[in-house]
Amino acid sequence: MALVGAKTFKNYIDGEWVDAASGDTFESTSPANGDTIGVFPKSGPEDVERAVAAASAAFEEWRLVPAPRRGEILFRFAQLVTDAKDDLTDLMSREMGKVKAEAGGDVQEAIDMSYYMAGEGRRLFGQTTPSELPDKFNMSVRMPIGVVGVITPWNFPIAIPSWKIAPALVAGNTIVFKPATDTPLLGERFVELLTEAGVPKRVVNIVHGGGRAVGDALVRHPDVPVITLTGSRETGVQVLKTAADELKRVHLELGGKNAIIVLDDADLDLAVDGIIWSAFGTSGQRCTAASRVVVQRGVYETLKSRLVQHVEQLRLGVGWEDDTDIGPVINEGALEKIHSYTEIGRNEGADLLTGGEVAHGDGLDKGFYYRPTVFGDVSPDMRIAQEEIFGPTTALIPVDSFDEAIRVANGVQFGLSSSIFTRDVNKAFRAIRDLDTGITYVNAGTTGAEVHLPFGGTKDTGNGHREAGQAALDVFTEWKSVYVDYSGRLQRAQIDNLDE
Ligand code: NAD
């Protein structure tokens, strides 16, 4: 497989591997040590135009391929990703920075999603209902929509494309895919494996390049009726506004400011494990990262000292080494943003308990490493408790009661994930009911979704859609209601059935 080195890669458009029309390129480099991963086409609207034309033409044939056949291609794809799992895992540690176990999990999620959606080829259930009139048959069926513009972030560079592309394909849509510029090789490998699995030419196209030059052109294109974007709130708002002119269907998965609640009766060792995994896994660069820990005062001091003790044992390093706990953050801009929040937290009067600095030495100087950071005595209105930092920083917020914990957890603009550690089943169920998020965990951290349940959030985390599970199909299909009258006479609904 194509691996690290200064190899030049191409777009895949109209069934051919091609350069950007402009001939321009950009480099992907490793956040772990600065190694060059590859050189990629820096595309623009002209390339998007060609890719959309190819995907539009392919739609006319792909929509007529029986769904079980489309599913069989996804089964083969899932198998190929399984075979390539070790290579993809290693590449992800190098191109994106995740530690090996998490990179493997990212790849596994794509395998699981592809198998799940492959099975949809033999389901894609609609409904049949009785008719209010005699000799009449009613049903609803899912119809594909057309070309889907897929725009993805860098933090789950194999999993997120699968969440979008697998359901879109099995439903009969065609694809123009724009991966993040920080992880283009993983996007390229994803498409290579799809073509190897037998996805026909033109059905999937990949166009590399920036959000403004490629993403925006895709969002504006009149022949792309569906846009699915995972990214920041700011990008989501921009995309939604742009897409409004064409009344497009826009599916948005945006930011998070997720809270773990720890009540006085919690298993504290378990809670510490959950916090470490959720706050510092993927260096805190998950939409479901626990960047707030809301702790009842009875256990606040104990939890604080146990957590800090554990955090100080975490080892920073390159993701592909077995004993690394925390890898780099994605790029220099991210490092600066994360550190600026440490300054903000300090200035706001929060108590910096550990971390709070760029990590140097021990081979870390060539990459972007930040010490895992914990703030104590944070009040809910501080910026570090309100804004998405997207780095290895978490804020401990003491509270007096269960009700206050729920109020604080809900008191942010996002609503992706939440969690509660308690041994009281009544409080657990009240939290499940009252936490205003798309996902709630009991006695587990804020991260760990499985592919067969809906994934997404309330409030500013999105615009009401969900990916994964059956819910994903709602993004990529249009419902058609069908009435078949076999009475041989004109029967008028709402009129003739009342006359008899
Ligand atoms: P980003 O918004 O900067 O970029 C996401 C994608 O959008 C990239 O491919 C980018 O090139 C593209 N883009 C940027 N501007 C665009 C424009 N004007 N038009 C069209 N496309 C444009 O986000 P990021 O930094 O890559 O990812 C981090 C963000 O993603 C965080 O906010 C995180 O919470 C969010 N995220 C959410 C989920 C979820 O499921 N809710 C999952 C992962 C990440």
Q: In terms of Cα–Cα distance, which of 451, 414, 444 is closest to 428?
A: 444
Residue from 287, 332, 368, 388 to probe ligand 1 pocket by mutation (most atoms less than 8 Å from CB): 287
The DSSP bridge pattern shows strands 226-230 and 249-253 to be parallel
pLDDT of residue 5: 47
Find the 153 Cα to ligand 1 centroid distance in Å.
5
* Sheet (strand 11-13) strand order: 16-18, 11-13, 204-206, 174-178, 147-151, 226-230, 249-253
pLDDT of residue 497: 76
- Structure confidence by residue, pLDDT tens digits, 49-104: 999 999 999 999 999 999 999 999 999 999 999 999 999 999 999 999 999 999 99
Where are any strands of DSSP class E within 282-421?
290-296, 351-354, 373-376, 393-399, 414-415, 417-421
State how far the alpha carbon of 64 is from the alpha carbons of 141, 171, 412, 438, in Å.
14, 11, 45, 35
Among residues 95, 102, 120, 287, which one is catalytic?
287
The answer to whether 100 and 89 have CB atoms below 8 angstroms apart is yes
Taking the CA of residue 156 as reference, the ligand 1 atom at the shortest distance is: 43
Contacts of residues 122-130 at CB distance under 8 Å and 24 or more positions apart, as own/partner, are 122/67, 122/68, 122/71, 124/67, 124/170, 124/171, 124/473, 124/477, 126/479
Q: In terms of Cα–Cα distance, which of 237, 88, 76, 229 is closest to 149?
A: 229
* Sheet (strand 393-399) strand order: 351-354, 373-376, 393-399, 290-296, 258-262, 417-421, 439-442
Give the ranges where 394-493 is alpha helix by DSSP (H): 402-410, 425-434, 471-476
The answer to whether 154 and 180 have CB atoms below 8 angstroms apart is yes
Is 246 among the catalytic positions?
Answer: no
Distance CA 141, CA 478 (A): 8
The dihedrals phi and psi of 437, each to the nearest 5 degrees, come to -145, 160
pLDDT of residue 499: 59
Half-sphere exposure of 46 (CA within 13 A, CB side): 10
pLDDT of residue 6: 65
How many Cβ atoms are within 10 Å of 105's Cβ, its own excluded? 17
Q: How would you classify residue 356: left for phi > 0, otherwise alpha for psi between -120 and 50, otherwise beta?
A: left
The answer to whether 205 and 51 have CB atoms below 8 angstroms apart is yes
The DSSP bridge pattern shows strands 147-151 and 174-178 to be parallel
Q: What is the pTM of this model?
A: 0.97
Name the stretches of the chain with pLDDT < 70.
Answer: 1-6, 499-500
The answer to whether 397 and 410 have CB atoms below 8 angstroms apart is no
Find the 456 Cα to ligand 1 centroid distance in Å.
14
Give the dihedral of Cα atoms 41, 188, 175, 108; nearest 10 deg: -150
User: H or E stretch including 477?
Assistant: strand 477-485
| CA torsion through residues 452, 460, 335, 34, sign | positive
Find the 237 Cα to ligand 1 centroid distance in Å.
11
pLDDT of residue 85: 98
- Structure confidence by residue, pLDDT tens digits, 456-486: 999 999 999 999 999 999 999 999 999 999 9
Packing angle, helices 100-120 and 85-95, rounded to 10 = 130
Find the 187 Cα to ligand 1 centroid distance in Å.
15
Residue from 230, 461, 463 to probe ligand 1 pocket by mutation (most atoms less than 8 Å from CB): 230
The answer to whether 223 and 248 have CB atoms below 8 angstroms apart is no
pLDDT of residue 3: 46
DSSP string, 403-429: HHHHHHHH-SSEESEEEEE-S-HHHHH
Give the dihedral of Cα atoms 308, 313, 314, 315; nearest 10 deg: 150
Is 287 among the catalytic positions?
Answer: yes
User: Which residue has the least CA distance to atom 1 on ligand 1?
Assistant: 231
The residue type of 422 is T
